[in-house]
């Protein structure tokens, strides 16, 4: 079923690369952070009626965004050394940017109780901020000797994990704001990602040597020997909702799904043609989604590794992918400066169809994968250059955000599609508002 080209609706948006995207917990809106120094908030249900809000205030590329668990606020981090907090409904800053870091802000996270913001930085420090006042609640937390690339709160909010290019993971006690008594957790290379299991029992970290490490949460005891995914490095890591498996995406173009308890790769997926940048699970654990430098988003059966969908449309590397909280849609962010939201059910239905040639039906015409609009009798009506095909609003994508739209409207409201002797039917006698008949 792979290879079906699926595209979407488009809306103007970011001017430069998108580095981070995230949904609100209720799935109502989507926040994106871009190299154009803006955050945009998109209505995930109806972006036509509720266009994106643009949050400007940073002067450098945004590196990370996170949505508060109650969906009220969005926190942002940027190369301009600032942490920002924005009202998710109005787009207004709650307070001026927090500028205490002396280097770029690499990652941000919000505690499960909505009380604290954690930020990690290229200045080798981690900071905690009171979310209501914006005040720093503690002096810079110093343990790392290099850039701190990752930060994550535990599900109960009691612990904070940070990962650094100094090859270490540090576990902090949130209540005391101090490092846990057992000190640093050591990896064998630069730490690229950290994550707590949904049940809160495990802390995982991935590094640039291709290892995945597991510790019992709150201790320095390894839950098992490290897993070795490859020798080129891991880019993304995700726990399954039941916390029994972990998926990794790597620089070897492969996805591996691991049984954590037994310590073996249940299967390896090698159908991407370039680096796998991001992986994620659907909320019900049925699917794995992946984004790659090969410009595709792919959907896999989480239990067998079978390929279910290949979603084409992005014009550059797919940097991040995630499911909406209700599991009905996939969102993908790309270096092509667009965010795409894909309707999973519609995509699976289209992929199950026998024919893989047509891209979409447009009235009595068909748009094919090679860009031709073909009439009902096979006549070639119009050829669309590749640079426009990815911007045409077609199902099963529900929207493209951050793109200059190319709208190809072929429906009854616009008079339908006519050619040959019937072309004149496009003019129904009612003058266009900008073209009035002569007296």
State whether 272 and 392 are in the same domain. Answer: no
Helices (H) and strands (E) in the chain, counts: 2, 37
Within a domain: 48: yes
Clarify whether residues 325 and 401 are in a common domain: no
Q: What is the pLDDT confidence band of residue 275, given thresholds at 50, 70 and 90? A: very high
Question: Is residue 191's pLDDT more than 60?
Answer: yes
What is the pTM assigned to this prediction?
0.68
Shared domain check, 301 and 233: yes
**Residue 206: inside a domain:** yes
In a domain, 378, yes or no: yes
End residue of a domain, out of 291, 325, 351: 351
CA distance linking residue 76 with residue 90, whole number of Å: 16
pLDDT at 180 over 60: yes
Instruction: Report the pLDDT value the prediction gives residue 223, as an integer from 0 to 100.
Output: 93
Identify whether residues 65 and 45 lie together within a single domain: yes
Same-domain status, 306 and 381: no
User: Which residues have C-beta within 8 Å of that of residue 280, sequence separation ≥ 6?
Assistant: 238, 288, 289, 290, 321, 322, 323
More confident residue, 267 or 23: 267
Q: How many CA atoms lie within 13 A of 75 on its CB side?
A: 27
**What is the per-residue pLDDT across 309-326, written as a single tens digit (0 to 9) for each?**
888 777 777 877 778 777
Which uninterrupted H or E stretch holds 387?
Answer: helix 386-389
Q: 92-96, 253-257, 374-378, 424-428 — which is least confidently predicted?
A: 424-428
217 and 273 co-located in one domain? yes
Whole domain around residue 102: which residue ranges?
A: 10-351
**Per-residue pLDDT at 357:** 46
Q: What is the CATH number of the domain that holds 170?
A: 2.130.10.10
Bridge-based pairing state of the strands 397-401 and 10-11: parallel
Residue 81 above 80 pLDDT? yes
User: How far apart are the C-alpha atoms of 91 and 86, rounded to whole Å?
Assistant: 6
257 and 391 assigned to the same domain: no
Claim to verify: residue 387 and residue 365 sit in the same structural domain: yes
Give the span between the Cα atoms of 42 and 246, in whole angstroms. Answer: 30
Are 33 and 91 contained in the same domain? yes
Q: Rounded CA gap, 117 and 109, in Å?
A: 6
* Beta-strand relationship, 227-228 and 211-216: antiparallel
How confident is the prediction for the chain on average, in pLDDT? 77
Give the total number of structural domains in the chain. 2
Judge residue 44's burial from the number of C-beta atoms within 10 Å of its C-beta, 0-12 exposed, 13-18 middle, 19 or more buried: buried
Q: What is the pLDDT of residue 336?
A: 65
What lies within 8 Å, CB to CB, of 75 at 6+ separation is: 65, 66, 68, 83, 84, 85, 86, 108, 110, 117, 131
Q: What is the pLDDT of residue 392?
A: 58
Of the three residues 332, 351, 370, the one that is the final residue of a domain is 351
Q: Name the residue with tokens 């109780």.
A: 113
Are 201 and 258 contained in the same domain? Answer: yes
User: What confidence tier does 48 reach under pLDDT thresholds 50, 70, 90?
Assistant: very low
**Is residue 1 in some structural domain?**
no
Please tell me the distance from the alpha carbon of residue 363 to that of residue 411, in angstroms, as a whole number. 6
Whether 32 shows a pLDDT value over 60: the answer reads yes
Express each pLDDT in 404-431 by its tens digit.
445 555 554 444 555 555 544 544 443 3
318, 351, 384 — which closes off a domain?
Answer: 351
> Does residue 233 or residue 37 have the better pLDDT?
233
Same domain, 265 and 394: no
Which of 69, 95, 70 is CA-nearest to residue 83?
95
- Of 80-89, 148-157, 348-357, the range with the highest mean pLDDT is 148-157
Say yes or no: 370 and 400 in one domain.
Answer: yes
């Amino acid at each position: 079923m792979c290879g079906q080209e699926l595209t979407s609706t488009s809306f103007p948006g970011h001017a430069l690369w998108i580095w981070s995207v995230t949904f609100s917990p209720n799935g109502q809106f989507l926040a994106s952070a871009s190299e154009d120094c803006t955050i945009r908030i998109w209505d995930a249900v109806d972006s036509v009626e509720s266009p994106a809000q643009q949050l400007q205030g940073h002067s450098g590329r945004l590196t990370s965004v996170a949505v508060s668990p109650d969906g009220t606020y969005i926190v942002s981090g940027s190369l301009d050394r600032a942490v920002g907090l924005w009202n998710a409904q109005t787009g207004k800053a709650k307070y001026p940017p927090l500028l205490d870091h002396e280097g770029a802000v690499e990652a941000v996270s919000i505690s499960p109780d909505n009380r604290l913001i954690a930020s990690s930085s290229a200045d080798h420090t981690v900071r905690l901020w009171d979310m209501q006042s914006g005040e720093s609640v503690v002096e810079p937390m110093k343990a790392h000797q290099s850039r701190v690339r990752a930060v994550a709160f535990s599900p109960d909010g009691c612990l904070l994990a940070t990962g650094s290019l100094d090859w270490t993971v540090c576990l902090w006690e949130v209540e005391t704001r101090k490092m846990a008594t057992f000190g640093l957790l050591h990896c064998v290379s630069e730490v690229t990602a950290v994550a707590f299991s949904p049940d809160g029992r495990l802390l995982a970290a991935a590094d640039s040597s291709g290892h995945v490490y597991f510790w019992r949460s709150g201790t320095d005891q390894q839950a098992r020997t490290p897993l070795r995914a490859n020798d080129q490095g891991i880019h993304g890591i995700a726990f399954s909702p039941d916390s029994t498996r972990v998926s990794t995406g790597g620089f070897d173009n492969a996805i591996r799904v691991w049984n954590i308890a037994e310590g073996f790769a249940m299967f390896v997926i090698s159908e991407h043609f370039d680096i796998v940048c991001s992986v994620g699970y659907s909320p019900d654990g049925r699917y794995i989604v992946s984004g790659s430098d090969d410009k595709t988003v792919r959907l896999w059966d989480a239990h067998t590794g079978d390929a279910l969908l290949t979603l084409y449309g992005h014009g550059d590397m797919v940097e991040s992918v995630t499911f909406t909280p209700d599991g009905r849609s996939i969102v993908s962010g790309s270096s092509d400066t667009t965010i795409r939201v894909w309707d999973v059910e519609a995509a699976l239905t289209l992929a199950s169809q026998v024919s893989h040639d047509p891209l979409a039906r447009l009235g009595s015409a068909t748009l094919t994968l090679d860009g031709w609009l073909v009439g009902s009798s096979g006549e070639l009506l119009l050829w669309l250059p590749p640079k426009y095909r990815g911007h045409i609003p077609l199902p099963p994508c529900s929207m493209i955000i951050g793109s200059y739209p190319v709208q190809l409207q072929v429906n009854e409201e616009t008079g339908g599609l006519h050619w040959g002797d019937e072309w004149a039917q496009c003019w129904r006698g009612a003058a266009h508002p900008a073209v009035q008949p002569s007296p």
